[in-house]
Amino acid sequence: MSRELELARELVRKLEEAEKDSKVQLSELQPGETFKIGEHDFIVLEQNGCSGTTNVISKSFMAKDIVFDSNTRDYNKSNLKRVIEENIQPVIESEIGAGNIIKQAVSLTSVDMQDEFKPCYCKVRPITFDEARKYNNLLVNKDLDDWWWTCTPWSTADRGWKRTISVVSPSGNFDYSSCYSGGGVRPFCILKSNIFVSKGE
């Protein structure tokens, strides 16, 4: 019996070593390279060497045809925030570990630089308009079949834009969409760089 147990332990050890050998530390991946979180490919957008973190976004949608909200541009109060935190964030946490995702303060300043809403504090969220501009060349995915949400309001009600949110096309163009319309969801998050991941496609 002890011999069988010893063989089983040796098999587990070899499987663990093989799995580790097939993975790389997230910090080793360059911007534009992809890795797996469960069955989903994520793109490395930026390595933050000083903080030991990595900015990433899903390559494809993790949810489709999601309404931002029926009547608000404030991501803090939106249906999209609820969908991400209840349906998408748990999937990422189960694969990466909740402690490896960095909570951050996110500005909800509008495209035309109006500060109508308070910052949002979250771990997993849509990308902002400014981030989408910064990483634009890395975000293009023409296989997507819909525009996708940012968390940035287009403007304010006082300026005639009561229900509009900035969105990004599969080819990287920007536009606005009514908050009560449906759009794709590509979650953005900041991960600790010292975790081991499997390379994507």
Distance of CA 54 to the CA centre of its chain: 11
pTM: 0.87
| pLDDT tens digits along 22-45 | 799 999 999 999 999 999 999 999
Helix (H) or strand (E) holding 20: helix 2-21
CA torsion angle 178 176 130 103 (round to 10): 20
The band of 19, judged by pLDDT with boundaries at 50, 70 and 90, is low
Q: 87, 43 in Cβ contact below 8 A?
A: no
**Average pLDDT value for residue range 125-152:** 97
Local structure of residue 26 (DSSP, 8 states) = G
How far apart, in whole angstroms, are the C-alpha atoms of residue 80 and residue 41? 21
pLDDT for 75-112, tens place per residue? 999 999 999 999 999 999 999 999 999 999 999 999 99
DSSP 3-state of 104: strand
Partners of 192 in the β-ladder: 53
Of 14-28, 53-67, 69-83, 111-125, the least confident:
14-28
| Cα 12 from Cα 18, distance rounded (Å) | 10
Q: Which of 9-13, 81-85, 166-170 is predicted with the least confidence, judged by mean pLDDT?
A: 9-13
For residues 108-133, give the mean pLDDT: 97
Residues in the chain: 201
Taking the C-alpha atoms of residue 155 and residue 68, their distance in angstroms, rounded to an integer, is 15
